[in-house]
Structure 1
Amino acid sequence: MSVAYTIAGAVLAVVLVGSAFGKLTRAQQVVDSMNAVGVPPRMYPFLAACEIAGAIGLVAGIWIKPLGIAAAIGVVLYFLGAVGAHIRKSDFKGMPPAAVFLVFSAAVLVLRLTA
């Protein structure tokens, strides 16, 4: 078990749960960002479920390495899609949070692969 992955994975899991909560409660900032890239409100629960699944996988990945790797790959792909959606709509104002989480999730993946 890697201490670095444990800490980074847990922090990312908390971020993912917080983001999912924002989608499920329709927090205004989240709704504005999602509207800017054209995500229909009916997709919010699905996206929140993806984030919750990623968070669970990252935490379980502390003990089950293949699950942690799979979850980290999924989270990287999730945020890659988010960044791509912002680029596609030229929403450069809303892109930085997704880009930061993409970089952070890639770092978590590297930590899990090398642990």
Structure 2
Amino acid sequence: MIVELVTIALNAGAATADFAGAGFVRDNAKKLGMSPGWILPLGVLKAAGALGLAAGLAGVPHVGVAAAGGLTLFFVGAVALHVQRRALRNIVYPAVFLGFAAASLVSQW
């Protein structure tokens, strides 16, 4: 349960930063060659994952598993994009998020 709570907090915080258009979010998107138009939809996915994990903890286990799986896939893609674009300086952030998402998935399985 602790792993899921940390995963929820991390993704809710990241989604909030995306929605606010935080400077570090825009800078990271630029370094990755992403259009700024992708920031909001990616924030929606992070928020949906956090909400889905919360639903899982609240008693809807299939939603929690699906959310953890979705977040895991999301951050596999984020890590892969960082590797592809050789943005290894910032790879620790998506890697940590990936670790928590995967741990949440395993703990709910």
TM-score clears 0.5: yes
Deviation at 1:7, TM superposition (A): 2.1
TM-score by length of 2: 0.94
RMSD (CA atoms): 0.9
Where does residue 28 of structure 1 map in the other structure?
23
What number of residue pairs does the alignment pair up?
Answer: 108
TM-score by length of 1: 0.89
1:99 corresponds to 2:107: no
- Residue-by-residue CA offset, 1:26-64 (whole Å, 9 max, x unaligned): 111111111111121111110011011001100001111
Segments of 4+ moved more than 6 angstroms? none
**Distance in 1 separating the partners of 2:60 and 2:73:** 20
Matches within 5 A, 1:66-81: 66-81=62-77
Within the candidate set 8, 26, 30, 2:3 is matched to: 8
State, as a whole percentage, how many aligned pairs show the same letter.
34
Deviation at 1:75, TM superposition (A): 0.3
1:41 corresponds to 2:39: no
Which residues of structure 1 form unaligned runs of 5+? 1-5
Which residues of structure 2 form unaligned runs of 5+? none
